Structure 1
Amino acid sequence: MFHKEGTKIIAGASIVLIASLLLTEKFLFDINWLKISLQIIALFFYVMILQFFRNPNRTIAPNEHTIVAPVDGKVVVIEEVYEEEYFKDKRLMVSIFMSPINVHVTRYAVSGKVKYSKYHPGKYLVAWHPKASTENERTSVVVENPVFGEILYRQIAGALAKRIVNYAQVDDVAVQGTDAGFIKFGSRVDLYLPLGTKINVKLQDKAVGNHTIIAQA
């Protein structure tokens, strides 16, 4: 199953793959080693594109007492920080870094009402750079949950990511575990939680979207 954001790219890649195979067969039929090498390279990039846009079915029953991982990746930051865009006070930040081989669907970590949603153009520093959270292209979304209160998540573009897709609109009803967006080709998502939230993960843990419980009440 592939994400809808990859439809055009996959279609284009399929055309390029077929054209590459046909052209190499036609013009390199007598240079077998070169023909096979180019065909393997074309197939490799095609498979990489397919796996990047995969969208595994991970339907869950929403639970207001848990915050689930919004994306797949590695937990790289757990610390108190000053959140200057929306809360303007200290929050507990949990940051998940996604490599190009991770699933890049962004899912709602909690259910609730979308209170804030804003896109920011910016730079394309590597996603783990300390300033990426405030200087890179990003979107910030706040969901108000009846148990945890207001939770902010931030989609951050990385050095390879050139487009952030955000479905959250103010006054939408967010349902935990459903699609909230997509980040194309490498990125990171930061969660800003109330101080004192009981964190259920450790640094370097592998997070799986909709499966890993980041925090619980």
Structure 2
Amino acid sequence: MKFHKEGYTTLALSILFVFVINALVHFFYSDNSILTWIVYILSFVLLVTVIQFFRNPIRKISPSEQKILCPADGKVVVIEETEETEYFKDRRLQVSIFMSPINVHSNRSPITGIVKFFKYHPGKYLMAWNPKSSTLNERTTIVVESSFGVEVLFRQIAGALARRIVWYVNEGKEVKQGEEFGFIKFGSRVDVFLPIGTKVNVKLGDKVKGGITILGEFDEEQPIN
């Protein structure tokens, strides 16, 4: 288990905050043992929460060109055919994963390939499970083309609490399956848009792990663009 680089500043600020609060309590209320212990306990909980949120487990990735790996830890909240209006402008199979504040929040590429399209959209902060969040919230859109020509679109979406989306990719960059492409702080969501006909290996309500759970599989005979 590692601590994610995106959490260094938050951890440093949390340690500084805890140090100042504990120093003030110790100085002004040293004779109040109950208050002192309450502050100690809350300080400990805060630091554990920050460390837990920014944990970055080491995962063994088993790459496969025909398989689509889950891009995030969380819960499957959408599996449906829908119109993708930004890039494909046609019907696609959408699979969405909701990431709660207790989930690992690093995002991993579902396939290996070249980034054909990238765009960041400023926006609102609706609840991540709101269907309109896919088009109205702050978000990124990333399209990766596999070695055999299939394109997969995945979208980081900020939620009501998630106010910072981080990405590590740009157009033309090669990404590897299971490799980190970004991070979203606090509760959020990732949408994946697949070609119609793609076999989906998860169902609504399933708990999934980024880089580990197989989200679906392409048709080996005839991959669909």
Deviation at 1:169, TM superposition (A): 0.5
Report which stretch shifted further, 162-171 or 150-159: 162-171
User: How many pairs are equivalent?
Assistant: 217
Deviation at 1:148, TM superposition (A): 6.8
Deviation at 1:147, TM superposition (A): 4.6
Aligned partner of 1:142 in structure 2 is 143
CA distance in 1, matches of 2:70, 2:209: 6
> Residue 165 in 1 paired to residue 158 in 2?
no
Aligned partner of 2:222 in structure 1 is none
Q: How does 1:85-164 map to 2 (within 5 A)?
A: 85-147=86-148, 149-164=150-165
Aligned partner of 1:39 in structure 2 is 40
CA distance in 2, matches of 1:209, 1:28: 46
Task: Map Cα deviations across residues 77-131 of structure 1 (whole Å, 9 max, x no partner).
Answer: 0000000000000000000000001000011111000000100000000000010
- Going from structure 1 to structure 2, the CA distance change for 1:75 and 1:169 (only over 3 Å counts) comes to same
Aligned partner of 1:54 in structure 2 is 55
Q: Kindly, what percent of the aligned residue pairs are identical?
A: 54
Aligned partner of 1:12 in structure 2 is 13
Q: Secondary structure at the match of 1:169?
A: coil
Q: Secondary structure at the match of 2:51?
A: helix
CA distance in 1, matches of 2:149, 2:116: 14
Aligned partner of 2:81 in structure 1 is 80
CA distance in 2, matches of 1:88, 1:2: 39
Contact kept, 8 Å, 1:140 with 1:152, in 2: the verdict is yes
Contact kept, 8 Å, 1:65 with 1:147, in 2: the verdict is no
- Superposition CA RMSD, Å: 1.1
Task: Map Cα deviations across residues 17-72 of structure 1 (whole Å, 9 max, x no partner).
Answer: 22222222222211111121122122212211111111111131321111111110
Q: Secondary structure at the match of 1:8?
A: helix
Q: Secondary structure at the match of 1:170?
A: coil
Report which stretch shifted further, 23-32 or 132-141: 23-32
Aligned partner of 1:71 in structure 2 is 72
Q: Secondary structure at the match of 2:93?
A: strand
CA distance in 1, matches of 2:72, 2:117: 20
Deviation at 1:135, TM superposition (A): 0.1
- Where does structure 2 lack aligned partners over 5 or more consecutive residues? 219-225
CA distance in 1, matches of 2:187, 2:103: 8
TM-score by length of 1: 0.97
Report which stretch shifted further, 18-27 or 171-180: 18-27
CA distance in 1, matches of 2:149, 2:79: 18
CA distance in 2, matches of 1:5, 1:74: 23
Q: How does 1:188-207 map to 2 (within 5 A)?
A: 188-207=189-208
TM-score by length of 2: 0.93
